[in-house]
Structure 1
Amino acid sequence: MSAAVEETTQPCPECGTEIRGDNRFTLWCATCDWNVDPGEPQPETGRLDRAERTLARRHGEQLLAEMLSGTDAQPRRDASAVIATALALTVHVGTLAFAVAGVWCLAAGWGGAGMVAGLVLLLLAWAFAPKFRALPHDRPVLLRGDAPELFALVDEVARAVGTRSVHAIAVDGSVNAAVTTYGVRGRRLLVLGMPLWEVLTPEERIALFGHELAHYANGDTRNGLLVGTAARTLHLWHHILQPLPNSSGIEIFVNALYVVPRLLVGGLLALLARLTSRAGIRAEYLADRLAARTASTQAAVGLMDRLLIAGSLDLRLRTEANRAALRGPESVRRANAHADDLWAVLTAYASSIPEHEYERQRRVGARRGHQVDTTHPPTHLRRASLLAHVPEPATVTPQTRRTELIAAELAPVRTEVARRLLRGDLDD
């Protein structure tokens, strides 16, 4: 059951303007921005974190200006992308060198010491080698035979965007969506968060597909197989080379040996971030543009607004899970039997969120910039980019019959995800 909505009225402590709001959300002043962002994020820690946020902030604003002027409206493979690819190849060649050296040590027959050295080198090569993701086993996965109408819609959006469609769709309990690849052949996987899907209109769902599939078309090098796996290898090295805590004796000596390699790996990570940051943020703006051309500017802007309240939706899901847990095991079993009621609660809550809360979230985004997310431009910049252009009509429109069939196809996984969320499995 939804919390009661109670209107709150008080004068602003800063400027005296009368403030009106409801008791479920932060009370703030639209005139002077008093209390607009009471929960400011923790400051970034570490050189890499600071460097990535600085780059993201600079490129987010620069690219918005370029997108609005039309000077950066197409994806391109510039010198930075070429250098990033060369750096990624160098990282992978280093991993290959560990494997070759390990095999040589084993084959040389150096006895015990050689065997140990060879095994250690091969273990390092295996740990740092590019890993091919498998289809997830911890959440429902749909193939074409499971949901033909859903895949037909994704196929239509993919054609409109100008890319190939996906091979599988994984459904989880996140207020999010993403695309990735799996397997040696690089098959395409769409990860669809059921809570986000439930609160979107049919038009906004098409915009969501358009945005995610556009990442395949834009050639974002950050998430590509070559550069993405090299970045993961460097992050793993950086983690391994961190100083040992509470060091004494031999550990102090080991920490001293780690200093130069750690600085080298950290420098390579910072360089890779510098080379790929601009292209990655450009890819987000371009994905938004393609989403608007596919589903309409209005639908793409509506999607942006829904993403603004993702934190509120996640909190509501946790509240419902906590309520079920507090009522005891029998209540949890009863809740599982009526799991689909969770979606009715969530959609009613989303519909009840007032416009002043959306506006507060936009202003929070403008204040924080890239303090929270270094991979996407702040939502207010993305929204401004969409609204600054001539409104785009939809090239893919929802069909009532197809929408009903898709709902029927998703019904089993919809129920399964709701049950998981009510059991407290909120980290899908």
Structure 2
Amino acid sequence: MPGVGRETRQQCPECGTEIRGDSRFTVWCAACDWNVDPEEPQPDTGRLERAERALARRHGEQLLAEMLSGREPRPRRDASAVAAIALALTVHGVTLALAVGGVWCLLAGWGGAGIVVGLVLLALAGVLAPRVHRLPDDRPVLFRADAPELFALVDEVAHAVGTRSVHAIAVDGSINASVMTYGVRGRRLLVLGMPLWEVLTPAERIALLGHELAHYANGDTRNGLVVGTALRTLSLWHHTLQPLPHPSAIEMVVNALYVVPRLLVRGALVLLVRLTSRAGTRAEYLADRLAARTASTQAAVGLMDRLLIAGPLGLLLRSEANRAALGGSRSTREATARADKLWELLTTYAASVPEHEYERQRRAGARRGHQIDATHPPTHLRRACLLGGEPMTATVVPQTHRTDQITAELATARTEVARRLLRDGPEA
């Protein structure tokens, strides 16, 4: 059974200390950190990579010191934020210029050539225009009438963090959660990864909701209409300009023509990510603080610990998906029973993870340091930041009857998600 492990004992090959472990997890030595991170990434070899990592580390340490200073930091529009907005507006301006140029070519009376050029420019503008998110059609989406108690809890948490609530809640198979806007009216969508939701306690679930909704309260520009859509547009441009594989003679010429535009787009994309990274990191720390204020420091720290074992949880889900595939087709009743059983296996496994595995994950995170392209600070630093501040008590307290009603409201969705997990494995 996934929730049961065999105790192991061996001597550390480095320092000779006796190591007691669990057969399901990496064997490592707490005395000398032997094998603490067997998948440790290769060190940076280029001058640019070393410089970027040093810069990220310095910024991360400055932000952590700021959060631990006792001050009440606010998201601020510094020079980087202003530059990011200016760059994003420039990106949208290019798309607008293509559209205006296309209309002008059509109306300029240049005959067939003008019409062809105008249509090409309009087509490019249409492809590269900012896209707003739509409600997902590949996963369960709940509205207030579907889950009144769940929405009542989200409303209460939103009020606690100082923002408006959401209009819809989507449920998927990721070990994650997120918020976004959808539609031209900018309605709010909360995405809950059911595997993460299932392994959290009721208080930790409130902390999760508090963290995600805090991104609205903090005004995180990465999720905003201007910068967020610019990031997606640049990513689309970069993907469109990728070299054609196995090119013919003509395609080699096209690839050569793409080189300069591709480098310019990549440079703009990297610059926009860099300009928003510090503000994004600060927003994560602020969201953690609001989560602690909403659900208590203890609950927010518990959430951090659960995030540390996302990898092992994913391995378990993939293992169960492989086992289901080998088992062949089943009746609807058997498939439903197996899907519901998946959550019991997952929660039992999560509850059985020993403390030494959590500690190994923290130490491995400390060794890896700040990742250049990460959208979040390292989890061990977020946890340390929570523990370094004044302990906070909960303003939103779990209620047993509400927890039971929310479970009932999510029953159909959780079964559907479990079936997909057993068929396809965990989502990214």
What TM-score comes out, normalization by structure 2 length?
Answer: 0.94
* Corresponding residue number in structure 2 for 1:92: 92
* Corresponding residue number in structure 2 for 1:228: 228
Task: Please list, as runs of the form range in 1=range in 2, the aligned pairs for 1:222-371 lying within 5 A after superposition.
Answer: 222-246=222-246, 249-330=249-330, 334-371=334-371
* Corresponding residue number in structure 1 for 2:147: 147
2:19 maps to a residue whose letter is I
CA pair 385-4 structure 1, distance change in 2 beyond 3 A:
closer
The worse-fitting range, judged by mean Cα deviation, of 65-74 and 248-257 is 248-257
CA pair 314-279 structure 1, distance change in 2 beyond 3 A:
same
* Corresponding residue number in structure 2 for 1:215: 215
**Contact (CA 8 Å) 1:332, 1:423: kept in 2 or not?**
no
CA shift, 1:45, in A, is 11
CA shift, 1:332, in A, is 8.6
CA shift, 1:167, in A, is 0.4
**Contact (CA 8 Å) 1:52, 1:273: kept in 2 or not?**
no
The worse-fitting range, judged by mean Cα deviation, of 219-228 and 51-60 is 51-60
- Distance in 2 between the 1:254 and 1:278 partners? 37
The worse-fitting range, judged by mean Cα deviation, of 394-403 and 246-255 is 246-255
User: Which string of whole-angstrom CA distances, capped at 9 and with x for unpartnered residues, describes residues 236-266 of structure 1?
Assistant: 2223333444556444443443333233223
- Distance in 2 between the 1:251 and 1:72 partners? 56
* Corresponding residue number in structure 2 for 1:117: 117
- Distance in 2 between the 1:288 and 1:215 partners? 10
* Corresponding residue number in structure 2 for 1:134: 134
User: Which string of whole-angstrom CA distances, capped at 9 and with x for unpartnered residues, describes residues 306-358 of structure 1?
Assistant: 00001111111111111111112138972334421111111000011100000
Do structure 1's residue 162 and structure 2's residue 171 form an aligned pair? no
1:62 maps to a residue whose letter is Q
3-state DSSP class of the match of 2:339? coil
**Contact (CA 8 Å) 1:59, 1:277: kept in 2 or not?**
no
- Distance in 1 between the 2:117 and 2:358 partners? 59
- Distance in 2 between the 1:68 and 1:381 partners? 11
- Distance in 1 between the 2:9 and 2:204 partners? 34
- Distance in 2 between the 1:414 and 1:147 partners? 13
* Corresponding residue number in structure 2 for 1:74: 74
3-state DSSP class of the match of 2:330? helix
- Distance in 1 between the 2:414 and 2:213 partners? 22
1:155 maps to a residue whose letter is D
Task: Provide structure 2 residue ranges, at least 5 long, that are not aligned to the other structure.
Answer: none
3-state DSSP class of the match of 1:8? strand
* Corresponding residue number in structure 1 for 2:64: 64
- Distance in 1 between the 2:113 and 2:52 partners? 42
**Contact (CA 8 Å) 2:144, 2:151: kept in 1 or not?**
yes
CA pair 420-42 structure 1, distance change in 2 beyond 3 A:
farther
CA shift, 1:425, in A, is 5.0
CA shift, 1:270, in A, is 2.7
The worse-fitting range, judged by mean Cα deviation, of 220-229 and 260-269 is 260-269
CA shift, 1:426, in A, is 3.0
The worse-fitting range, judged by mean Cα deviation, of 273-282 and 175-184 is 273-282
2:285 maps to a residue whose letter is Y
**Contact (CA 8 Å) 1:173, 1:194: kept in 2 or not?**
yes
3-state DSSP class of the match of 1:423? helix
3-state DSSP class of the match of 2:230? helix
1:356 maps to a residue whose letter is H
1:367 maps to a residue whose letter is R
- Distance in 2 between the 1:199 and 1:29 partners? 27
**Contact (CA 8 Å) 2:198, 2:347: kept in 1 or not?**
yes
- Distance in 2 between the 1:246 and 1:38 partners? 37
Q: Aligned Cα RMSD in Å?
A: 2.4
The worse-fitting range, judged by mean Cα deviation, of 324-333 and 226-235 is 324-333
**Contact (CA 8 Å) 1:48, 1:266: kept in 2 or not?**
no
* Corresponding residue number in structure 1 for 2:195: 195
CA shift, 1:382, in A, is 0.3
CA pair 212-46 structure 1, distance change in 2 beyond 3 A:
farther
2:24 maps to a residue whose letter is R
- Distance in 2 between the 1:97 and 1:209 partners? 41
2:353 maps to a residue whose letter is I
User: Which string of whole-angstrom CA distances, capped at 9 and with x for unpartnered residues, describes residues 251-310 of structure 1?
Assistant: 444344333323322332232123211100000000000000000000000000000001
* Corresponding residue number in structure 2 for 1:413: 413
Do structure 1's residue 8 and structure 2's residue 8 form an aligned pair? yes
- Distance in 2 between the 1:68 and 1:171 partners? 34
**Contact (CA 8 Å) 2:70, 2:389: kept in 1 or not?**
no
* Corresponding residue number in structure 1 for 2:21: 21
CA shift, 1:404, in A, is 1.1
CA pair 145-54 structure 1, distance change in 2 beyond 3 A:
farther
2:258 maps to a residue whose letter is Y
The worse-fitting range, judged by mean Cα deviation, of 101-110 and 13-22 is 101-110
2:216 maps to a residue whose letter is Y
Task: Provide structure 1 residue ranges, at least 5 long, that are not aligned to the other structure.
Answer: none
**Contact (CA 8 Å) 2:176, 2:192: kept in 1 or not?**
yes
CA shift, 1:74, in A, is 1.7
CA shift, 1:51, in A, is 8.3
2:339 maps to a residue whose letter is A
1:401 maps to a residue whose letter is H
- Distance in 2 between the 1:139 and 1:51 partners? 42
